[in-house]
Structure 1
Amino acid sequence: MNSTFHGLETAKRALFAQQNGLYTTGNNIANANTLGYTRQRVNFAATEGWPPASMNRSQFAGQLGTGVSAESIHRVREFYLDVQYRAENAKVGYYASNASAMAKLEDILNETGKDPVGLARVLNDFRDSWQELSTNPENDGVREVVIQRGHAVADTFQHLYNTIQFYRQDLGKQVDGDVDKINSLLRGIDDLNRQIAQMEPHGYLPNNLYDERDRLVDELSGYMAIEVEKIPGESNGNAKAIAEGIYVIRVNGIEIVNKDRYLELQVDRQDGYVANVSFGGVPVEFEDLPLGKMKSLIENYGYDDGKGTYPELLAKLDSLADEFAANVNGAHAKGFKKDGQQGGNLFIEGAGAAGIKMLDQIEPDDLAPSLTIDGSGDGKNARNVAESIQGVMSEYERMIGRIGVEAQFANQQRKSAATLKTAVEENRLSVGTVSLDEEMMDMIKFQHAYNAAARTITVIDEMLDKIVNGMGVGGR
């Protein structure tokens, strides 16, 4: 025979369960604008019916319901969407960093826009001045223009080299700063793993810790492509089946985070280049660096004794400066000055883009535009000097063209990756973000259920009052 107070217990359970629903809804509303928060839902489950299966059970047509319980409060989140988002986030981190580095190079070289004033224009002006000198070899004013434009070429080479080197050093500082940031994220994830591992065996679902851990993992994925695996907690204890367990994070098969420890990223530099990359002493080859912002920074900064976008560009500038000086000096040396002496060097050779300069003692009369020894001023050698510059100009234009194509490709890849990331992020937000309209509907639903449970208690109370105070008084 069921208890007289069976209905009260059923209604009481309903009260507590709907109350939990209301509190969870309120928490969702409170965190609607909290970064990284995932909406939560209460798992309601009907409690075991009465009577239970037993040998001496009461005979009923069927089991009588005993109410409801809030089994758990879980996050509404899809792990597969997290995997997709982190993969696209790594691509965005890589290509966005590449696009930024290439944009800086384009700004430094200044060969685009309506009024480009980069090295190409300065070389062209220098060549034009020699062509002008070929038609006016005796004009001191034209000779002075040649000298000033020669200084301008050397100054531009030096400016480009020093500016690119400055930005390369800035990339090195970014590498160091991001290494610290990555290690801080790994340390935070490891700490959260430990806290979660301590709480889950007691039957708790630490949703706030889950959210914070996922936020850190999302941020980490922008620096490097990672693989995340959920590992259930220890079998002992009272951990729920839906508990998420700890995260094991791998990079190229290396477990950088597991249940026992995390491995710090180490980036060693030598002679101005990245020499080694490792996680806790486990080396990673440069070719196997995971896609992400860190790989882009290292590739642009330079590694392995001169490989990389910026170092290779600096080496190319050195080569162009040396070729320019050698070509101009060689052509000029074949000509003759006004006094009949053979022309000498105009530029320092072999000093690279950082060291190239026009010789300080060069005066207008030191120029040798003629091919005749009597210095009659035929201007033919001036044309030869002008033609000697053309090869460097063509090579420089090809270099600028390659940089432009690479910059365009980096921007296209960045936009493509950003579009895919946005699409995945929208799908993820549609699942896990808080919708105030939906929460208000749930609030009304739980409120009505709570009121109905309270009304049930009132009705049962009236029934019991009738039994206690209204029965057994006949015949008094």
Structure 2
Amino acid sequence: MSGLFGTFNVAKRGMSAQQKALDVVSHNIANANTEGYSRQRATMEASRPFGMPSMNNAMGPGQLGTGVQISSISRIRDGFLDYQVRTENGTSGLYEGREEFLTQIEGIMNEPSDTGVSTLLTKVFNSWGDLSLHPESSNSRTVVAQQSKALTDELNNTYNQLIKLKGNSQEVIKQNVVDINNMLDQINVLNQQVISVKVGGNEPNDLMDKRDLLVDQLSAKFGISIDKKGLGGEDLKADGYDAYLVKSIGKDDVSRFSYVSSIELKDKNDPTQGYNVTYYKNGDMSQKSETISMQLTPGQYKELDQCRVLLADKAGNVEKADGTLNLFLPKTGELQGYMSVQADIDKYVNELNNLAKGIAFSINAVHSGSATATEEDLFFVNSTDPTAAGEQSINAGNISIKKAIIDDVMLIKVGIGDTPGPTDGKRALAISSLRDIRLAIQDIDAGKTRAEFLTGKFDLDATLGVNMVKSNLNGMTVSGYFTDIVNRLAVQTQEAKRIVKNHGLLLAGLDESRTSISGVSLDEEMANMIQFQHAYQANAKIISTVDELLDVVINGLKK
């Protein structure tokens, strides 16, 4: 329609388009500080003109425009930057998880300090050296007993704190399982809502922002891969796994995660009976637990104990393949960080156990003069089984001083003779010299006996006149072994901190790049607002002008 009414409609469309553009600007400004929000842009295009080519108007002046319309309201987003951020989120999450717990392990080790294991080891050997100079002194014997007890107490405490820390890391894994399942459910719902809005011909920008924010958060938990589907849908998997976690079609045919709360032997006296593996569906411990009976090799037990996360169906039922559990072992992300730290804790606990056992075996051997454990001559014992047989099971958690020695320090053997009491001090000097003896501590295992540990390395020392442990060229001193543990821990912690820092800088750069594209610039939005405001006012002026012209046409003819 041409004429004044046509002009009126053009101006009306112009006002409507500028108003919608102002609405978009207003929405952007309102969400300038909203996490995950992507700025939106109203795309304008010329509306369909009058005078489409035909036989009747072929020689006319051309098509007559009918104004403007909003063709779409789209969000500004760079998919490649999203991919980069999510990839770096996984690596950063891995080392942030490691740093968190490795730092706590350093605090538990408490090195270097005046009360740490290293200092207490030195004090123990020094006390034996002082006792060799004053074998008749009950005070010197008391110092040996008390310093040795301080060492065992610190080993017990360190062991218990590490075990507790491992339990804490498992609690964090459990909470992550719950959070991850909740995220996946939310993403699944948003996915379907996006598709529904797209089917209606609209752009679900805010819904897609919410989905992308959840995907960003999920990518810090473990590595993910995303397949873009039609109508804005997305299919999501964990890197290295074929199971879908989110599907645009068949939304219920997806996997979730369950949490293993305990792995216990059916019969502690008969390991061949297998294990009871107890798990909670979707990590929800408010629901009834489920138990599976199964056989586990030592390697499978260790892997399951350190992992604790099972791939399950949507209801949380664990998937079994050939009688085994389908463990979820991500390559990156916070989950992998917490899982790997458990392996580190197990390693440090095992090394502390070796240290405790090496100390007990070597000092007990020299104190008793025998490579074979005898109950009456023990100095260090297993607090849960203080017999000669219990010595084989000594670890950092149960090592202690024989109670009879604490009660009567005169039972400590000091000299060459087998009878406790004030003698020459040669045996005490031999025990003191153990600080410089290289022991194969790294080769100790849970089942090794004192005799096996000292095979070929225990003989009479001609100078001291007592049976003495001989140095092993492939071994380490007691202090050197513990120092090596502390140094490796420090290297691991510093590596985690360095990588967290480096990836933090990289992520900050990527976030800045993404924000420069998707973020809201208040200066830019204010400029757009003024531009659309002026355009709106100009269109309103056209309507006012058309109104005056119509008044001339309608009322002016009466004159």
Relative to the length of structure 1, the TM-score reads 0.89
Match of 1:250 among 228, 237, 254: 237
Counterpart position of 2:307: 274
Report how far residue 50 of structure 1 moved. Answer: 2.4
Name 1:321's counterpart in structure 2: 356
Tell me how far 1:316 sits from its aligned partner: 1.5
Match of 2:379 in 1: 346
Is the Cα contact below 8 Å between 1:277 and 1:285 reproduced in 2?
Answer: yes
Answer whether contact 1:328 1:389 (CA < 8 A) is retained: no
Q: Is it true that 1:332 corresponds to 2:375 in the alignment? A: no
Q: Distance in 2 between matches of 1:60 and 1:147?
A: 114
Kindly indicate whether the alpha-carbon contact (under 8 Å) linking 2:329 and 2:336 is maintained by their aligned counterparts in 1. Answer: no
Are the aligned partners of 1:158 and 1:355 in contact in 2 as well (CA < 8 Å)? yes
Is 1:300 the counterpart of 2:354? The answer is no
State the alpha-carbon separation in 2 of the partners of residues 155 and 273 from structure 1.
Answer: 27
**What is the distance in 1 between the residues matched to 2:150 and 2:311?**
45
Partner amino acid, structure 2, of 1:71: S
1:265 maps to: 257
**Are 1:312 and 2:347 an aligned pair?**
yes
Please report how far the alpha carbon of residue 389 of structure 1 lies from its aligned counterpart in structure 2 after TM superposition. Answer: 4.2
Paired residue type of 1:264: R
Distance 1:77 1:275, change over 3 A: closer
CA distance in 2, matches of 1:57, 1:282: 72
Contact 1:343 1:368 in 2 (8 A): no
Residues in 2 aligned to 1:276 and 1:187: alpha-carbon distance in whole angstroms: 18
Residue number in structure 1 paired with 2:148:
150
Q: Distance in 1 between matches of 2:352 and 2:326?
A: 28
Could you say which residue in structure 2 is the equivalent of 1:435?
521
TM value normalised by structure 2:
0.76
RMSD between aligned alpha carbons?
Answer: 2.2
Q: How many residues align?
A: 448
TM-superposed deviation, 1:131: 1.2
Question: Partners in 2 of 1:290 and 1:232 — Cα distance?
Answer: 29
1:172-221 deviation line (CA, Å, top 9, x unaligned): 11111100000000000001111111111111111111111111111111
Please state whether the residue corresponding to 2:345 is helix, strand or coil. helix
3-state SS of 2:236 partner: strand
2:142 paired with 1:128: no
**CA deviation profile, 1:380-402 (whole Å, cap 9, x unmatched):** 22121123245222211111111
Structure 2 distance, partners of 1:376, 1:121, is: 28
The answer to whether the 8 A contact 2:307-2:329 is kept is no
Partner of 2:448: none
- Give the C-alpha shift of residue 288 in structure 1: 5.3
Q: Are 2:424 and 1:378 equivalent residues in the alignment?
A: yes
Does the aligned pair in 1 maintain the 2:309–2:328 contact within 8 Å?
no
Return the letter of the residue paired with 1:52: M
CA displacement at 1:258 relative to structure 2: 1.1
Q: Which amino acid aligns with 2:161?
A: T
> What's the CA shift for 1:282?
5.9
> Does structure 1 residue 355 correspond to structure 2 residue 390?
no
Q: 1:124 to 1:289 in 2, by over 3 A?
A: same
Map of 2:410 onto structure 1: 365
**TM-fit CA distance, 1:39:** 1.3
Question: What SS class does the counterpart of residue 332 from structure 2 fall into?
Answer: coil
Segments of 5+ residues of structure 2 without an aligned counterpart are: 265-304, 382-390, 437-476
Distance 1:325 1:376 in 2: 23
CA distance in 2, matches of 1:279, 1:3: 69
Q: How does 1:10-409 map to 2 (within 5 A)?
A: 10-57=10-57, 59-112=59-112, 115-233=113-231, 245-251=232-238, 252-254=240-242, 255-259=244-248, 260-261=250-251, 262-268=254-260, 270-271=263-264, 272-274=305-307, 277-280=310-313, 281=318, 289-301=330-342, 308-334=343-369, 344-348=377-381, 349=391, 350-362=393-405, 363-372=408-417, 377-390=423-436, 391-409=477-495
3-state SS, counterpart of residue 59 of structure 1: coil
Task: Give the whole-Å Cα distance in 2 for the aligned partners of 1:116 and 1:143.
Answer: 22
Alignment check: 8 A CA contact 1:267 1:278 kept: no
Shift of 1:285: 7.4
Kindly state the Cα deviation for residue 323 of structure 1 after the two structures are TM-superposed.
1.4
